[in-house]
């Protein structure tokens, strides 16, 4: 069974919980921002909610467990209802990835908080191991989703941001060839040699972002936290 999934089987509860949080908050951020900017489309379809059932796509969630790549249900947005369609469309689109980055930052802060209060090591070894695994997945997967979604290829958020930044004529040409962009994207995701020289180096920036968040927290919290030991405990 382990040969058919991307993650260790024993980590499934942490993976599922992380994906539910990450996908739900990501899509809610799109829907809520669009709603606040005057587009009622997502609101009328019941998407301005933190209820995971309306945001999760079964096949997309299953694929990320099996292949390390998946998706949630896209939030419907009508830019014509925005007062400033281009600018507001960019903000609505960027809200999703930014929400994932915020989740990762909150995850790091919570680990520091647990360490500061002594609660990180207060329980049994099993409780400590569960906390380490959950927070490590919560932080790293949300940073990955932040980077991944900003890649400027369809159907990702990064592509939609780019289409709102370029002149109309270029945007029209991009939309005419969107199917080829999606084809290229799928090739990069599912062909390991291509993925190794394209997506993987970009996604590798997750550790730089992780380190930056840690460096910020080190300045705030007084009690030292050994992240190297946490990584070792996670890999054990």
Task: Indicate the average pLDDT of the chain.
Answer: 91
> In this structure, is the dihedral angle defined by the CA atoms of residues 45, 156, 51 and 108, taken in order, positive or negative?
negative
pLDDT digit string, tens, across residues 125-163: 999 999 999 999 999 999 999 999 999 989 899 999 999
Longest dimension (CA), the chain: 62
Catalytic residues: 27
pLDDT tens per residue across span 51-107: 999 999 888 887 777 776 778 999 999 999 999 999 999 999 999 999 999 999 999
Does residue 111 have a pLDDT over 70? yes
What does the pLDDT look like over 114-129, one tens digit per residue?
Answer: 999 999 989 899 999 9
Scanning the structure block, which residue is given the tokens 């600018």? 87
Q: Say yes or no to pLDDT of 222 above 70.
A: yes
Backbone angles phi, psi at 204, to 5 degrees: -65, -15
pLDDT tier at 5 (50, 70, 90 boundaries)? Answer: low
Q: List pLDDT tens digits, range 175-192.
A: 888 888 888 888 888 888
What contacts 228, CB < 8 A, 6 or more positions away? none
The pTM for the full model equals 0.92
Query: What share of the chain in percent tops pLDDT 70?
Result: 97
* Containing structural domain, residue 20: 2-235
Count how many domains the chain has: 1
Q: Are 75 and 27 in contact (CB under 8 A)?
A: yes
Inform me whether the pLDDT recorded for 6 exceeds 80. Answer: no
Tell which residue, 64, 60, 62, has the closest CA to residue 73.
60
Q: Which of 227, 200, 233, 232 is nearest to 213 (CA)?
A: 227
> Who's near 130: CB < 8 A, 6+ residues apart?
14
């Amino acid at each position: 069974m382990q040969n058919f999934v991307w993650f260790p089987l024993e980590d499934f509860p942490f993976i599922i919980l992380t994906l539910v949080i990450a996908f739900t908050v990501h899509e809610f951020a799109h829907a809520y921002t669009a709603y606040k900017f005057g587009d009622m489309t997502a609101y009328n379809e019941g998407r301005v909610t933190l209820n995971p059932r309306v945001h999760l796509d079964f096949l997309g969630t299953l694929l990320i467990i099996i292949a390390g790549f998946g998706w949630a249900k896209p939030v419907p947005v009508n830019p014509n209802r925005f007062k400033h369609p281009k600018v507001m469309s960019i903000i609505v689109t960027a809200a999703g990835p930014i929400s994932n980055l915020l989740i990762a930052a909150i995850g790091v802060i919570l680990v520091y908080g647990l360490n500061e209060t002594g609660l990180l090591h207060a329980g049994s070894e099993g409780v400590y191991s569960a906390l380490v695994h959950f927070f490590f997945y919560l932080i790293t997967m949300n940073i990955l989703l932040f980077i991944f979604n900003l890649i400027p290829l369809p159907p990702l958020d990064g592509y939609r941001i780019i289409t709102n930044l370029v002149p109309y004529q270029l945007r029209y040409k991009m939309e005419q060839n969107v199917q080829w962009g999606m084809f290229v994207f799928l090739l990069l995701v599912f062909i390991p040699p291509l993925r190794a020289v394209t997506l993987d180096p970009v996604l590798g920036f997750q550790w730089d972002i992780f380190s930056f968040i840690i460096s910020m927290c080190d300045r705030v919290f007084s009690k030292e936290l050994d992240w190297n030991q946490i990584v070792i405990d996670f890999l054990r």
